[in-house]
Structure 1
Amino acid sequence: MSFQLRRATAADLAFARDLTCRNMLRYYIQYDLLWQDDAFDVAWSGRENWLLIRDDVSLGFLSLSRDSRALYIRELQLAEAFQGQGAGSWAIDQVIEMARHEKRTALRLTVFENNPAKNLYQRKGLQLHGKDECFLRMQLDLSTPVL
């Protein structure tokens, strides 16, 4: 069966928070950052959130935001058991299509500089557009017409 996106609800918050903490805690520890459940919850409430599903099983989620130009992937989290099966690539394709449909000029995201997910983002055409202390800022330019 294929992957699907389902709009997340408040009932999905605990799943998303726990998954993000499990996936990201090693980076938070490495870079001496403080994980805060409350901060995640506040961010969740201000974003557009989607569950990534296959066969009625939640594999992970997407969290999106926008400004006047760009669509931002704020979170793309997959449970470890489902990584490497094409779900992340499929999810990025869906977000690229959303951005194009909305006529956004760019898709942007931030990733820890040593997170292997950056390789997936590069394969999907996102390019390095800046670096902060421990993060890479990546962007896919959508303003160039596709031939």
Structure 2
Amino acid sequence: MINEFKDFIAKGNVMDMAVGIIIGAAFTAIVTSLVNDLINPIIGLFTGGIDFTNLFWTMGDGEYASLEQAREAGASVFAYGAFFTAVINFLIIAWVVFMLVKMVNRVKAAAEKPDDVAPEVDTGPSEKDLLIEIRDALKAR
């Protein structure tokens, strides 16, 4: 069992996945900061200074000044602002990943040289060409 585990860990895919997870975690922190520190304030300018992360609705009795206070009091809250922020985070991450994949595809396409593409090998007439020849030969008889 230990040898199987060593074989599993030594595979390149596992190491690639581990690197991807670590980079993804760091990338998530950057995107969260981008949304919270840059994008939300800009949106706040257009919406009159509303902080989306603190938008909530209390389900039941009680008025609370902030989402934190409501959660600390154990109130049931509908935190639609936090959800809105999560959606913005997702859209930004999806856009950046799309742009990265697009850039990698361009680099791969530029790296491919015409020499790398195998030349077409002439294998002779196709099956269709042979059938046409046979048909024409039969018509000629």
- Using structure 2 for the length normalisation, give the TM-score: 0.23
- Is the helix fraction higher in 1 or 2? 2
- Is the strand fraction higher in 1 or 2? 1
Which structure would you say has the larger Rg? 2
- Using structure 1 for the length normalisation, give the TM-score: 0.23
